[in-house]
Amino acid sequence: MAPAPRAQAQAQFADTLCPEATQYVVALGKLTQTTPAQQVYDVAHATTSAYETCASRYLGNGQIEPQVHYAYTRQASFSIIEARALVALNRPAEAKRVLQNSRRLASDVFDWRTDTNAKRPSNYHDAAKDIMDAADAMLAKLSATAPPAAATAAPAPAASPHR
Q: What is the pTM of this model?
A: 0.81
| Per-residue pLDDT in tens (0 to 9) along the chain, 163 residues | 555 555 554 458 999 999 999 999 999 999 999 999 999 999 999 999 999 999 999 999 999 999 999 999 999 999 999 999 999 999 999 999 999 999 999 999 999 998 887 889 999 999 999 999 999 999 999 998 866 554 444 444 445 444 4
CA distance 106 to 100: 10
The number of beta carbons lying within 10 Å of the beta carbon of residue 150 is: 6
Residue type, 110: F
Q: How far, in Å, CA of 62 to CA of 48, rounded?
A: 21
Q: What is the DSSP string of 4-26?
A: PPHHHHHHT---SS-GGGHHHHH
